[in-house]
């Protein structure tokens, strides 16, 4: 037991305890709804929004996807997979609608760039680079290098057909994802032998796999696929929470983890809400704000007032869940990475 006349030690321990417990917002001071209730209701909102999006209901009926109208016109799964795989590899730091529209035209005008065998055997990289320069792709030669490298990988490893890649892993999304990230070998342009440049990235990869799963062939075990945090996803998250997340790596991770928490208890994956959220924010001033506000209010939520703690912050386990004080101290120590001796002294001092 810490002696009561050791006031300096007691104050230090009280401060330590305050710093730990301040992580959890007291429910009594948070109004009529707790953080967990807000998150659960937002999950219900996400399910309803995804249902509107999947079934092409208004307002998504008018803006449903950039790629779906394109792939609907392609005959085979191989064609759809090639278009989505190669074009999506360039979907970074540029307007997605303009990108897919441009390459839809090229599918018919310059189809050779979409057939890995034809590109590698009958054409040269310089021809591809010249075409990309002529078309004004944002990164010109760099875009051509990404396209050529992925085409070369498909030609050499998968008989020029992405479907062979998916089939090799039994259409298991997680295994495909892990392979694309780690795959290395003989490459022409990229260091470390990266066989799927750009496509292996944390932003592009989940978008690509979502498109494949929805428009080409269902990919199993999609649980855990994160949202692709770009400007639209970051800003709509800020608007929902009343936060000021930035473009920092830490904030991006907080956003990914936040949407995991929202989606986990419900029959929906984070990446599934990525598409509709993107369109809602893109068209924020015309219909996005009004639509999202209505969906939130149906569940008793208000825009900018959804309560959430950053999931990277440790939460204090409830005392009532443990039979003894020692078991609880063990749990708190594990969760907060705090020495058990300090925790025990805090408890004794405040007893």
Reported pTM: 0.61
How confident is the model at residue 2, as a pLDDT? 39
Nearby residues of 316 by Cβ (< 8 Å), 6 or more positions away = 20, 21, 23, 24, 332, 335, 336
User: Has residue 308 been placed in a domain?
Assistant: no
Q: Based on the domain organization, do 210 and 340 belong to the same domain?
A: no
Burial of 110-144, coded b for 16+ CB within 10 Å and e otherwise, reads eeebbbbeebbeeeebeebbebbeeeebeeeebbb
pLDDT tens, residue by residue, 51-70: 998 888 889 877 767 898 99
Q: Based on the domain organization, do 187 and 129 belong to the same domain?
A: yes
pLDDT tens, residue by residue, 247-272: 888 888 899 999 999 998 898 888 88
Q: Based on the domain organization, do 103 and 139 belong to the same domain?
A: yes
Per-residue pLDDT at 315 exceeds 60:
no
Greater pLDDT, 237 or 33: 237
Averaged pLDDT for residues 217-231: 78
Averaged pLDDT for residues 272-294: 93
**Most confident listed range (73-87, 181-195, 211-225, 295-309):** 73-87
CA distances from 73 to 83, 162, 284 (A): 11, 18, 29
Residue 158 belongs to domain spanning: 68-215
Q: Based on the domain organization, do 331 and 284 belong to the same domain?
A: no
pLDDT tens, residue by residue, 159-208: 999 999 999 999 998 899 999 999 988 888 887 779 999 999 988 998 89
Cα separation, 53 vs 68, in Å, equals: 12
φ/ψ region of 318 (left if φ > 0, alpha if ψ in -120 to 50, else beta) reads: beta
User: Has residue 169 been placed in a domain?
Assistant: yes
Boundary (domain end) residue, out of 168, 194, 215: 215
Q: Based on the domain organization, do 119 and 137 belong to the same domain?
A: yes
Q: How confident is the model at residue 323 (pLDDT cuts 50, 70, 90)?
A: low
Q: Based on the domain organization, do 247 and 273 belong to the same domain?
A: yes
Q: Based on the domain organization, do 210 and 261 belong to the same domain?
A: no
Q: What percent of the chain has pLDDT over 90?
A: 52
Nearest CA-CA partner of 316 in 37, 25, 38: 25
User: Has residue 220 been placed in a domain?
Assistant: no
How confident is the model at residue 142, as a pLDDT? 94
How confident is the model at residue 221, as a pLDDT? 66
Burial grade of 273 (CB within 10 A; 0-12, 13-18, 19 or more): buried
Instruction: Report residue 218: phi and psi, to 5°.
Output: -60, 135
User: Has residue 154 been placed in a domain?
Assistant: yes
How confident is the model at residue 341, as a pLDDT? 83
Averaged pLDDT for residues 142-154: 96
Per-residue pLDDT at 26 exceeds 80:
no
Examine residue 59 and say whether the peptide bond preceding it is cis (omega within 30 degrees of 0).
yes
User: In the chain, how many domains are there?
Assistant: 3
User: Has residue 29 been placed in a domain?
Assistant: no
Which DSSP symbol is given to 169? T
Averaged pLDDT for residues 226-236: 89
User: Has residue 101 been placed in a domain?
Assistant: yes
Asked if residue 338 lies in contact with residue 20, where contact means CB atoms within 8 angstroms, the answer is yes
Q: Based on the domain organization, do 233 and 258 belong to the same domain?
A: yes
Q: How confident is the model at residue 4 (pLDDT cuts 50, 70, 90)?
A: very low
User: Has residue 133 been placed in a domain?
Assistant: yes
Averaged pLDDT for residues 212-229: 80
């Amino acid at each position: 037991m810490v002696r009561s006349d050791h006031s300096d030690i007691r104050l230090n321990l009280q401060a330590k305890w305050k710093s730990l417990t301040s992580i959890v917002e007291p429910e009594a001071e948070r109004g009529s709804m707790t953080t967990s209730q807000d998150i659960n209701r937002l999950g219900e909102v996400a399910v309803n929004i995804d249902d509107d999006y999947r079934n092409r209901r208004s307002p998504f009926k008018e803006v449903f996807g950039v790629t779906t109208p394109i792939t609907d016109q392609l005959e085979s799964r191989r064609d759809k997979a090639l278009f989505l795989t190669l074009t999506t590899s360039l979907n970074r730091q540029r307007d997605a609608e303009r990108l897919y529209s441009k390459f839809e035209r090229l599918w018919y005008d310059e189809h050779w760039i979409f057939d890995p065998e034809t590109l590698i055997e009958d054409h040269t990289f310089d021809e591809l680079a010249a075409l990309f320069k002529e078309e004004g792709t944002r990164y010109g030669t760099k875009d051509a290098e990404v396209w050529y490298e992925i085409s070369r990988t498909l030609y050499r490893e998968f008989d020029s057909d992405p479907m062979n890649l998916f089939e090799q892993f039994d259409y298991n999304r997680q295994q495909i994802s892990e392979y694309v990230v780690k795959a290395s070998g003989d490459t022409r342009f990229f260091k470390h032998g990266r066989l799927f440049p750009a496509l292996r990235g944390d932003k592009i990869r989940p978008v690509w796999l979502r498109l494949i799963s929805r428009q080409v062939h269902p990919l199993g075990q999609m649980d855990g696929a994160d949202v692709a945090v770009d400007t639209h996803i970051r800003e709509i998250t800020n608007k929902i929470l009343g936060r000021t997340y930035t473009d920092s790596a830490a904030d991006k991770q907080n956003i990914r983890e936040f949407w995991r928490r929202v989606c986990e208890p419900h029959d929906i994956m984070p990446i599934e809400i990525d598409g509709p959220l993107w369109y809602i924010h893109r068209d924020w001033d015309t219909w996005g704000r009004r639509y999202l506000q209505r969906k939130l209010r149906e569940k008793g939520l208000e825009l900018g007032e959804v309560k959430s703690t950053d999931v990277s912050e440790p939460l204090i386990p409830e005392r009532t869940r443990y039979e003894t004080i020692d078991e609880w101290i063990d749990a708190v120590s594990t969760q907060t990475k705090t020495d058990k001796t300090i925790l025990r002294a805090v408890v004794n001092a405040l007893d």
